[in-house]
Structure 1
């Protein structure tokens, strides 16, 4: 038996050898997890937390709260009416849409529900595509129409039409591409496709097409075929009847499948953004508005530039926030510290994941220093902060500016107090204020060697200064009031004197008048 085992050991090597990991195909993964294996890996070490879930596996209430609808808007009702109807049908708190369509216009209208309404602004500014029908006022050649449509591309001046809900102000809008689909010379109708910037008026574009061809034209019909990330070509375009039927199936048959087909997760709007994957422990900090730092980054997309808008996601594919990149891809791959991105708009609700900040050794030390008073209440250095902490933990951004300003203010106030103390001592000793103190050290050295004041001492000095200012202002106001009162008494006496003089003069006049009356009466008596 032993010999057979020895023979087997000689023939075969029973050692575990590393095997090559089979390549993972993520091309068919949904939403933001698609092509996950093609993202650059910064680190693979993190602790998964049993919170959150894949966007497609959310509970139906959460699914609706984070949902969007690619609606085929019918003609005649306005966009606001349609959105209000959906809000009432689905019984949700908030709804919003990605760009107004005129009542007669049909096509893609992205309706965002509850938390997804935070993406409305970004979708409103996304590009749009339309198919329009224009009627010409006179006969025109098809080749000329084709040339005219192609000429009206690039940046164009536009003024909103007379029938519009906005101020009729001249503006510039960009037409990215336009082409003629069909032209009917008998009815003088042209069907053309336009890819344009948000806020473009196709009605005005049809009028300009008539100007270019010299025959005049107006828009007959319009349909939006793409809005941002959604288009009518996809299977997700639904009607109002679909929304109503899906909600009825949920209420009466407890069937969620129809509603899950009608409503899509908000992550479907963000598939065109470049991605930053973060650790589960960093998710809630980003939800509270913190900047994404290098230690919290797991994977990142290729080709990210500084200032570019990116989406921050979890390892399960949930969108956390839209953010502006603060580092390029090359810097993320080579750097071990710094800010990766700053948040633009948070999508995920706070405390979906637990709080995991402030649990490390440095955070514990920082809390102790705040408690001891060697850091201020915001964790920034003050006059009592040890030098080793200042060098070990450099401040960034606004914190650095605030800390520098505070330190400069403390140094200036300390120097001023030391100079004042030196001047007082010199005056008491009978020496001029500008001379050096008795120990021979200059005033600047005395100021530099002065012991730094505590926070409470500074507060007390500030309060005393404010009290002195208030007392001085009150004294000045009292003196002014007393002077004003004296002036007022003098004015009163003068008015009284003038009044009595007027009365005396009036009395003299009345005596003269009475004398004249008496003389007149005596004359009249003599005549009689």
Structure 2
């Protein structure tokens, strides 16, 4: 007899007291759900009111979707700084109006014979900093309206190109009519647009057939929890063991450890001065994000650096070194 699928309804879940749960969940989003759908299900399962997601995935896409819980929602804006890694499969020979398989075919071309060497040459041309024009079928707003709303009405408006960074773009598989690659890129990169651009440069046209986000910074799809597994963990009252603590939520971020006096100042909303710095981890420049940790390693706040990491130890004691963006400890 097959195992019964978990019921996601509110009434089916034990109504455990969930106050005090703060951190992140690394979930493996299934195809067919919007990122907001996942947030709604997590709210129902955990009975937490403060739940949000970082980095939207289109409904057909799968893979890593980071969910903020409680104060973890305050980290969401900073998770955008992490690079994202995707595995993408393209259908060669046809372009669509949405740049993916959900759209209407607007052009077909003969694929011909593509060699792996030729494809790798094309892919390498996209590495580095490039410009992308956001697609009309996107959630961006123009004069208060979502672009996809206008697109469904047959209206196209001018969109400003954006700079994105492609760290690496690697060919994984190539067949007569499909191409699969892995890309590591900056936040805000549209892989659908990349797929269309690659197809144009190959000369045959292409659209995105399948997309999986395999990593957001240090958070990988191998570590991700499915919604079914989360539901089962809620039923067993073990789901909290899957919550990534705040201190680990920004793993790999440049960081400053502050003294006990610096930690007390942060509780009053006062940014740290050079005299409060006990240790600097990583490299950062002026205006770049930096995490602030207390003497015990707890993540206290996130801000932007006022001076370079290299200058931190040579600054006047009274100089403010970080402009606060988010304070994660309760202020006094």
Larger strand proportion, structure 1 or 2? 2
Residue matched to 1:171: 161
Determine the structure 2 residue equivalent to 1:526. none
2:330 maps to which of 349, 353, 356: 349
For structure 2, list consecutive stretches of 5 or more residues without a partner in the other structure.
1-16, 94-110, 141-146, 148-156
Identify the structure with bigger relative contact order (alpha carbons < 8 Å, sequence gap 6+): 2
1:181 aligned residue: 172
Cα distance between partner residues in 2 of 1:218 and 1:163:
14
| Structure with greater proportional helix content | 1
Deviations 1:274-333 (A, max 9, x none): 222223343242133212124433333364544442211112211000123334455543
| Structure 1: distance between partners of 2:276 and 2:229 | 42
Q: Secondary structure at the match of 1:315?
A: coil
Does structure 1 retain, via aligned residues, the 8 Å contact 2:274–2:313? no
On the 8 A contact 1:157/1:170 being kept in 2, the answer is no
The 5-angstrom pairing of residues 94-133 of structure 1 reads 94-133=50-89
Deviation at 1:136, TM superposition (A): 1.1
1:128/1:195 contact within 8 Å kept: yes
CA distance in 1, matches of 2:137, 2:301: 38
2:230 aligns with 243
Give the equivalent residue in structure 2 for 1:437: none
1:310 maps to which residue? 290
Where does residue 151 of structure 1 map in the other structure? Answer: 125
Residue 195 in 1 paired to residue 168 in 2? no
Q: 1:259 aligns with which of 236, 239, 242?
A: 239
The verdict on how the C-alpha distance between 1:332 and 1:149 changes in structure 2, with shifts beyond 3 A counting, is closer
- Which residue is equivalent to 1:291? 271
Which residue of the partner structure matches residue 408 of structure 1?
A: none
Contact residue 23 and residue 249 of structure 2 kept, 8 A: no
Q: Provide Cα deviations, 1:35-56, integer angstroms capped at 9, x if missing partner.
A: xxxxxxxxxxxxxxxxxxxxxx
SS of the residue aligned with 1:273? coil
> Residues 296, 105 of structure 1: CA spacing in aligned structure 2 closer, same or farther, 3 A cutoff?
same
Aligned mates of 1:329, 1:160 — CA distance in 2: 34
Distance in 2, matches of 1:227 and 1:304, equals 20
Map 1:16-415; keep pairs closer than 5 Å.
61-62=19-20, 64=21, 66-137=22-93, 138-142=111-115, 143-166=117-140, 167=147, 169-172=159-162, 173-185=164-176, 188-233=177-222, 236-250=223-237, 258-301=238-281, 303=283, 305-329=285-309, 331-334=311-314, 337-339=317-319, 340-351=321-332
**Corresponding residue of 1:481:** none
State the distance in 1 between where 2:217 and 2:255 align. Answer: 18
Residue in 2 aligned with 1:372?
Answer: none
Q: Is the 8 A contact 2:52 2:73 kept in 1?
A: yes
For normalisation by structure 1, the TM-score amounts to 0.50
Q: Which runs of 5+ in 1 are unaligned?
A: 1-58, 251-257, 352-528
Contact 1:242 1:262 (C-alpha < 8 Å) held by counterparts? no
RMSD over aligned Cα, in angstroms? 2.3
What is the number of equivalent residue pairs in this alignment? 280
Inter-partner Cα distance in structure 1 for 2:85 and 2:283? 27
Q: Which has the larger radius of gyration?
A: 1
C-alpha distance in 2 between matches for 1:61 and 1:205: 42
Write the distance in 2 (CA, Å) between the matches of 1:291 and 1:342. Answer: 6
For the residues of structure 1 that align with 2:18 and 2:139, how far apart are their CA atoms? 37
Deviation at 1:265, TM superposition (A): 0.6
Q: Secondary structure at the match of 2:324?
A: strand
**Alignment partners' CA distance in 2, 1:302 and 1:111:** 26
3-state DSSP of counterpart to 1:292: coil
Matched residue SS, 1:88: helix
SS of 2:236's equivalent in the other structure is: helix
Q: Is the 8 A contact 1:130 1:195 kept in 2?
A: yes
Cα distance per residue 1:319-367 (max 9 Å; x no partner): 000123334455543556222333221112225xxxxxxxxxxxxxxxx
Matched residue of 1:264: which SS? Answer: coil
Contact 1:67 1:263 in 2 (8 A): yes
* TM-score, normalisation: structure 2: 0.77
**3-state SS in 2 of match to 1:101:** coil
Change (3 A) 1:136 1:315: same
Using the alignment, how far apart are the partners of 2:329 and 2:113 within structure 1? 55
